[in-house]
Chains A and B, each alone.
Chain A
């Protein structure tokens, strides 16, 4: 079973920051938080992952609370091409375990 909960859907204006929350209150000490997104009729795309420190890459920033029970994915300047379903997943880093997907958040970026 998925270990995360996310809002079903969110809207964001183009050019504004999109902040996508995720709750993972039962996360274990060795589990990382991963974010993937899926654009319609494509395979999921890796965005970012982190353990406890905030992370940033060319796509997004990941903010993890100090107690690690929740996190927020930030797309700093959303574009129409960021419209997708965003999945937050917890998984041990060095482990061959599968990724279990929850229901995700459907982000709609509008002009």
Chain B
């Protein structure tokens, strides 16, 4: 099956710093990628939709200047949490939609962000 690689799997950072999370589709091209956030014991919340070569579309209530998304190629999307604060601590998950077939989404293994 298709593989989505997400790095890092875990990151600890100081308050005020920025953190970049990478999401790569390893064996397929992904025109569209999605970024989710998940707090403990809660469901996944969609943050934004990322389309290759264009600006991301953010869900209501998600600050686009704080969560910078770049989708520069068909195999890579990045999420940068800028000026991170403790309340940004969460599990971030990316998913990718294979180009040419919109049948199902494949998910990365997630990134646990802890902001001190």
Contacts and interface: CB of A to CB of B under 8 A. Distances in A.
Given A95-B102, A102-B43, A43 B112 contact: no
B91 A101 contact: no
Q: Is the interface of A mostly helix, strand, loop or mixed?
A: loop
Interface stretch (A10-18, A20-28, A44-52): A44-52
Nearest to A36: B107
Contacts of B112: 41
Interface in B63-116: 91, 93, 95, 97, 102-110, 112
A62 to B, nearest CB: 13
Given A99-B105, A101-B43, A43 B110 contact: yes
A43 B45 CA distance: 13
A100 B49 CA distance: 12
B44 A41 contact: no
A103 interface: yes
Contacts of B107: 36, 43-46
Interface residues of A, number: 22
A59 B85 CA distance: 40
Nearest to A2: B43
Interface of A: 34, 36, 38, 41-46, 49, 87, 93-96, 98-104
Interface of B: 1, 4, 6, 31-32, 34, 36, 43-46, 49, 91, 93, 95, 97, 102-110, 112
22 contacts: A34-B104, A38-B44, A41-B91, A42-B110, A43-B109, A43-B110, A44-B107, A45-B107, A46-B104, A49-B104, A93-B102, A96-B31, A96-B32, A98-B49, A99-B34, A99-B95, A99-B105, A100-B46, A101-B44, A101-B45, A102-B43, A104-B43
